[in-house]
């Protein structure tokens, strides 16, 4: 389990604990003293192309914004707008962690947090992760090692933009170009 998940459901700062132990202190609590509260879900956001077998998609982070001050949502990221994501290092953009009183609430909160996440300049897996979160079997907790492989076609079709799903990509490109030309004059 990722440490942000454990921190979310226990309310404990595990990194602080690691520093204390490294300084020679004992752990402040024993396992039986730690209470678990609620449910947490984490999404790893990568610069990758879901439609190309999840290959890394290097590029420049021209725009990067995460939801600010959303209760019970944590974003861990070591990159910022303007940074380059290259093939020479991990293409992770962020980890987004949501806590809820139960699994359904945690999933809803994570989905809303990802809906408010905007990444421009490179391909990323936000839509794919949201498609997974929206899948009925995922919501029911019926997930397993082959979940993505078994549902890949359905998930990929759901993560396409509405314009691309309807085959209107050319229309969108024309509209964007028209706006750019209009505002440049």
Q: DSSP label at 4?
A: H
Looking at residue 165, its pLDDT comes to 47
Q: Does residue 157 share a domain with residue 102?
A: yes
In this predicted structure, the answer to whether residue 27 has a pLDDT above a threshold of 80 is yes
Assign 92 to helix, strand or coil: strand
Q: Does residue 112 share a domain with residue 87?
A: yes
Looking at residue 116, its pLDDT comes to 95
Assign 76 to helix, strand or coil: strand
Q: Cβ atoms within 10 A of the Cβ of 34, count?
A: 13
Assign 53 to helix, strand or coil: coil
Both tokens of 176, joined, read 């964007």
Looking at residue 170, its pLDDT comes to 61
Tens of pLDDT along 141-173? 999 999 999 999 999 999 876 555 455 566 566
Q: Does residue 47 share a domain with residue 10?
A: no
Give Cα separations from 40 to 64, 90, 145 (angstroms). 24, 24, 19
Strand runs (DSSP E) across 66-184, as ranges?
73-76, 84-85, 92-100, 118-120
Q: Does residue 60 share a domain with residue 127?
A: yes
* CA-closest candidate to residue 60, choices 82, 78, 42, 79: 82
Spatial separation of the C-alpha atoms in residues 160 and 76, rounded to whole Å: 26
- Number of domains into which the chain is organized: 2
Long-range contacts of 76-83 (CB under 8 A, 24+ apart): 76/4
Q: What percent of the chain has pLDDT over 70?
A: 89
Q: What percent of the chain has pLDDT over 90?
A: 80
Q: Does residue 163 share a domain with residue 109?
A: yes
176 Rama class: left (phi>0) / alpha (psi -120 to 50) / beta: alpha
Instruction: Output 161 or 25, whichever has higher pLDDT.
Output: 25
Q: Does residue 87 share a domain with residue 29?
A: no
Q: Does residue 137 share a domain with residue 76?
A: yes
Q: Does residue 160 share a domain with residue 118?
A: yes
pTM: 0.84
Tens of pLDDT along 66-117? 998 899 999 999 999 999 999 888 899 999 999 999 999 999 999 999 999 9
Both tokens of 59, joined, read 């590029």
Q: Does residue 56 share a domain with residue 109?
A: yes
Q: Does residue 48 share a domain with residue 16?
A: no
Assign 172 to helix, strand or coil: helix
Q: Does residue 165 share a domain with residue 114?
A: yes
Assign 129 to helix, strand or coil: helix
Q: Does residue 173 share a domain with residue 96?
A: yes
Domain that holds residue 16: 1-37
CATH classification of the domain holding 79: 3.30.470.20
């Amino acid at each position: 389990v990722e440490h942000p998940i454990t921190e979310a459901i226990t309310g404990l700062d595990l990194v602080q604990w690691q520093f204390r132990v490294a300084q020679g202190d004992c752990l402040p609590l024993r396992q039986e003293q730690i209470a678990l509260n609620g449910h947490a879900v984490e999404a790893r956001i990568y610069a990758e192309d879901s439609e190309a077998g999840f290959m890394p998609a290097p590029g420049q982070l021209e725009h990067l914004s995460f939801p600010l001050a959303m209760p019970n949502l944590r974003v861990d990221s070591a990159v910022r707008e303007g940074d380059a994501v290259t093939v020479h290092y991990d293409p992770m953009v962020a980890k987004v962690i949501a806590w809820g009183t139960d699994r359904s609430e945690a999933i809803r909160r994570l989905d809303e947090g990802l809906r408010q996440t905007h990444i421009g300049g490179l391909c990323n897996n936000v839509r794919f992760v949201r498609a997974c979160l929206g899948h009925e079997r995922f919501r029911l907790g019926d997930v397993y090692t082959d979940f993505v492989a078994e549902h890949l076609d359905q998930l990929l079709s759901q993560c396409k933009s509405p314009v691309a799903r309807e085959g209107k990509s050319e229309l969108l490109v024309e509209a964007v170009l028209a706006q750019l030309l209009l505002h440049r004059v």
